[in-house]
Structure 1
Amino acid sequence: MTDDYINFKQTAKDSFEAGDYAPMAARLAGAAEELVAACGAGPGLHVLDVGAGTGNAAVAAARAGARATAADLTPAMVRAGRERTRAEGLPVDWDEADIEDLPYAEGTFDRVLAVFTANFAPRPRTAAAEMLRVLRPGGVLGLANWTPTGFAAAMSRALADLGPAPEACDDFSSPFLWGDEKELTALLGAAVEPVRLERRQLVWHFPSAGALWEELERDGGPAAARESMPEQEYARIREAALAVVAGHAETAGDGIAVTNEYLLAVVRRTA
């Protein structure tokens, strides 16, 4: 592993340690619930929520009667997720684990779910191979990922200077290619057969563009970078982000609505 790779992993951990992920987790919960339903996670099935954050997919799977395990790279997410599921009385097992090096035996799970997390992996082919390795033959992999042309991708470009990008590898030029049907199918390879590939939307409501930015500031990247970045540079990035919001938002009542497109992908491991 190169120093750049190690630094990227540590920066990812630090950004989530610094931020308050709860508001964003709430905004993503609907997509996790849809994915759990689309994958048929329920009684008698062992489900892994990888890159779980605070456990949206694991919570939905446990509520559906499945045996749920949640794994996340960041200790803060594991602590918060464990507290959440304990408070809700849900029997979810929690592990600190990297999507590129999962600590489970081959074929452990009947369902493997990743909700807006696979795109954080700097080695996409490794991440895909690991998710399929721990999935039993005939099991289902469910993914939700932002599309390359949506709001999240545009915002990511605006925020690119807030921290180091992962080194280029695997010939996968953009993390948002996880949200492209053709690219995702090629990435997962011949070991799977598509069950469902469908573009969906999450609509987020905010009082204003400024309120959206304030939530982003609390949610990791901006929170971690603000302390070390020159004020003028940080202001430039903020203005670029607000311009992205202006290009995607619509007036909704007394506030704004931002539509965020994602790809819901359900595939079956065939070998």
Structure 2
Amino acid sequence: MTTTPQMTELRDKQQKVWSSGDYNRIAALTVPVSEHLVEHVGVAPGARVLDVATGTGHVALAAARRGATASGIDYVPALLDIARRRAEAEDLALDLSEADAEALPHPDESFDLVLSAIGVMFSADHSRAAAELVRVCRPGGRLGVASWTPEGFIGGMLGTVGRHAPPPPGAQPPTRWGTESVVAELLGDGVEDVGSVTATVRQRFADADAFADLFLTYYGPTFAAAGRLDEDGRAALRADLVGLAASYDQGNGDGAVLDWEYRIVTATRR
């Protein structure tokens, strides 16, 4: 596959988005998703595991705790620095590299398990990223991807942001990866035994306003979108985020309690 200038430009824009804000303030919310992914695929001691778009290292660290030989890649250096510090604090060995999901710095068939939790779904070129996942997985190895669903809360949040600040030309909805049939098509004929499970992770905030302010301040996509709007536009975006959180709230007056739906899609490399 060749990378077009449009895709290179889109990748650079997305890298800047994820470098903005302070994703470390948000990342902890996805720990249960990463732990579920590692448990679901059955990471075992000695397995060679790659965590694609590792961010602050959730999946790679969870795999290393199980005795796996864990590696991770991400294109945001500041997030990799946090992953390294976390590994050092736990005395865990991680091989971390700065790289794109669309160009993994590893030879063909290098890993027993190739995983990504709330990561590869945000790649610029979905087809190329999927091909790379398959390429570096050994025959008989497993691929596992956890992604927000289009119909879930985060799918609604990303849709809300996109209505206020449309994504750049060529960008595909990241929540496509939250649909089993789409992931099966992306992975193509190189895999078999595609299946999925759907789950939710429960999040708690002081109230709907606290959710909106946290994400507008620290989460790259919402932070960057708000920065493209004028004062009225930012106020309108915030109001819609507050309204979305309120519509999902199950807290019965005891803070905002939100269930965020995600889907884990797995496959076996032929």
TM-score, normalised to structure 2, is: 0.91
Q: Which amino acid aligns with 1:268?
A: T
Structure 1 match to 2:137: 135
Instruction: Give the aligned CA root-mean-square deviation in angstroms.
Output: 1.9
Percent identity reads 36
Equivalent position SS for 1:114: strand
Map 1:1-271 → 2, pairs under 5 A: 1=3, 4-160=6-162, 161-162=164-165, 164-165=167-168, 167=170, 174-194=173-193, 196-217=195-216, 218-252=218-252, 254-270=254-270
1:125-180 C-alpha deviation (Å, 9 max, x unpaired): 11110011011111110110111111111100111144633505xxxx63212111
Equivalent position SS for 2:85: helix
| Structure 2: unaligned runs, 5 residues or longer | none
Tell me, yes or no, if the aligned pair for 2:48 and 2:70 is still in contact at 8 Å: yes
1:46 shift after superposition: 0.9
Number of matched pairs: 266
Q: Which amino acid aligns with 1:50?
A: V
TM-score, normalised to structure 1, is: 0.91
Tell me, yes or no, if the aligned pair for 2:45 and 2:67 is still in contact at 8 Å: yes
Equivalent position SS for 2:262: strand
Tell me, yes or no, if the aligned pair for 1:16 and 1:76 is still in contact at 8 Å: no
Higher deviation after alignment, 105-114 or 74-83: 74-83
Higher deviation after alignment, 175-184 or 51-60: 175-184
| Structure 1: unaligned runs, 5 residues or longer | none
1:195 shift after superposition: 5.7
Q: Which amino acid aligns with 1:198?
A: V
1:254 shift after superposition: 1.9
Equivalent position SS for 1:70: strand
Partners of 1:5 and 1:208 lie apart in 2 by 39
Tell me, yes or no, if the aligned pair for 2:226 and 2:237 is still in contact at 8 Å: no
Cα 1:33–1:252 shift into 2, 3 Å = farther
Tell me, yes or no, if the aligned pair for 2:208 and 2:243 is still in contact at 8 Å: no
Partners of 1:94 and 1:196 lie apart in 2 by 29
